[in-house]
Amino acid sequence: MDNLDIKILSRLLNNCREPDRQIGKELGISGGAIRARIKKMQERKIIGKFTIKVEPPVLGFGVLYIVVSGQNIKEILEQISLVGEPFFVVPCVGGITVCSIVVKENLQQKIILANKLMKDVRILSIFEAENPGFNSNLTKTDLEILELLIKEPRQKIEKISKDTGLSTKTVTRCIDKLQENDGIQFTVIYDPTKIEDFIPHAILAWIEGDLRETLEKMNEEFHESFMQIPFIAKNQIVLFMYSHDIFEMDELTQRVRNMDNVRSADLFIPKKISFPLKWLEQAINDAKKSSTLHLSYQTN
């Protein structure tokens, strides 16, 4: 991969529905050249699949983040499933696995339950994600289109219109609404082990002070190294970045640690990334059964 490939991958991670022509315009090459590079990344298995990441609060759920020592993914999934449905699972270099689970209510009780139920792994950290106020005011039409997009996030508006019987105008309006929602991301799943000449990594920064102000400063200082848009979870900021080598990665981590309001920062290098969609498919299916046309979710 070269610098152009990593920039294309970054654009797709943040919005895989962005037209190839628009990506090319931003990066200074043709839409055809963008398509060719995307196809090459798919052939080399760098890009595994296009997908949708929906933050659980959008559909009225809470989220627990768990960092454990251990990488028996099957065993970890079996254990966390006793508490809630998996949202994402990321085994990292160093024998650490970062995962999160979707829970409906009583999050503090679920934290206690997770600590009791998880065996043969050491829980290094477990915390509740703060509800960031995502817009959760979706209609059944929004959900119907979202359900189709789960299968193929990049499919054309005309095909969605044909499959749903909705007008292209309605489909366009709904997709625009979904894309404007900060809690819904059209993205890709990529294989970090296939990326040569770059090291994807995440820095989890624990913040003491104003989160938004700190995030703004991080955006100013590190935006050229971002692979994805950072996100906030309670009193943490998670930065998704890339470096050319371990020395640059270490330097970036130290710069984050030295920032005002940063209490500490932990570095994670992912080996694999997965977003199980069972919880999302079930949540959409349940919501569509509602007797009301306009759905408004409240989190606990």
Q: How confident is the model at residue 198 (pLDDT cuts 50, 70, 90)?
A: very high
Query: What's CA 59's distance to the chain center, in Å?
Result: 15
Residues 176 and 227 in one domain: no
Please give the pLDDT value at position 295. Answer: 52
In a domain, 188, yes or no: no
Confirm whether 203 is domain-assigned. yes
Instruction: For residues 120 and 58, state if they share a domain.
Output: yes
What's the confidence (pLDDT) of residue 172? 95
Q: Are residues 124 and 145 in the same domain?
A: no
User: Does 250 score more than 90 pLDDT?
Assistant: yes
Total count of domains within the chain = 4
Candidate from 17-21, 64-68, 104-108, 162-166 with smallest mean pLDDT: 104-108
Check whether residue 288 and residue 159 sit in a common domain.
Answer: yes
Phi, psi of 53 (to 5 degrees): -110, 110
Its sign, for the CA torsion 165, 169, 170, 176, is: positive
Predicted confidence (pLDDT) per residue in 27-70, tens digit: 999 999 999 999 999 999 999 999 999 988 888 888 888 888 87
Is there a single domain that holds both residue 74 and residue 204? no
Stretch 149-162: mean pLDDT, rounded? Answer: 93
Tens of pLDDT, residue by residue over 86-100, are 999 999 999 899 988
212 and 80 in one domain? no
- Same domain as 264, residue 282: no
Q: Of 102, 128, 154, which closes a domain?
A: 128
Average pLDDT, the chain: 88
Residue 28 in any domain: the answer is yes
Residue 22 located in a structural domain: yes
Compute the average pLDDT of residues 151-156. 93
* DSSP E strand stretches across the chain: 47-54, 62-69, 85-92, 96-103, 122-128, 137-139, 184-190, 199-207, 231-233, 236-243, 262-268, 294-296
Q: Are residues 64 and 114 located together in one domain of the fold? A: yes
Task: For residues 153 and 185, give the distance between their C-alpha atoms in angstroms, rounded to a whole number.
Answer: 10
**What's the CA gap between 197 and 273, in Å, rounded?**
19
- 189 domain residue, yes or no: no
CATH classification of the domain holding 32: 1.10.10.10
The domain spanning residue 84 has which CATH number? Answer: 3.30.70.920
Q: pLDDT class for 118, splitting at 50, 70, 90?
A: confident
Residue 190 lies in a domain: no
Q: Do 287 and 157 have their domain in common? A: yes
* Residues 287, 157 share a domain: yes
Q: 171: closest CA among 151, 150, 142?
A: 142
Specify whether 36 is located in the same domain as 70. no
Tokens of 280: 């999302």
Q: How far apart are CA 87 and CA 80, in angstroms?
A: 10
Cβ contacts of 228-234, under 8 Å, gap ≥ 24: 228/10, 228/13, 228/14, 228/187, 229/14, 231/132, 232/130, 232/132, 233/63, 233/65, 233/127, 233/129, 233/130, 234/127, 234/128, 234/129, 234/130
Residue 81 — very low, low, confident or very high, per pLDDT cuts 50/70/90? confident
Contact 52, 184 (CB under 8 A): yes
CATH number of the domain to which 163 belongs: 1.10.10
Residue 2, burial from CB neighbour count under 10 angstroms (0-12, 13-18, 19+): exposed
- For residue 230, being part of any structural domain is answered with yes
Domain extent at residue 142: 137-183+278-292
CATH code (residue 223): 3.30.70.1150
Three-state secondary structure of 117-171: HCCCCEEEEEEECCCCCCCCEEEHHHHHHHHHHHHCCCCCHHHHHHHHCCCHHHH
Residues 174, 108 share a domain: no
CA-wise closest residue to 214 among 259, 149, 280: 259
* Residue 242 is assigned to a structural domain of this protein: yes
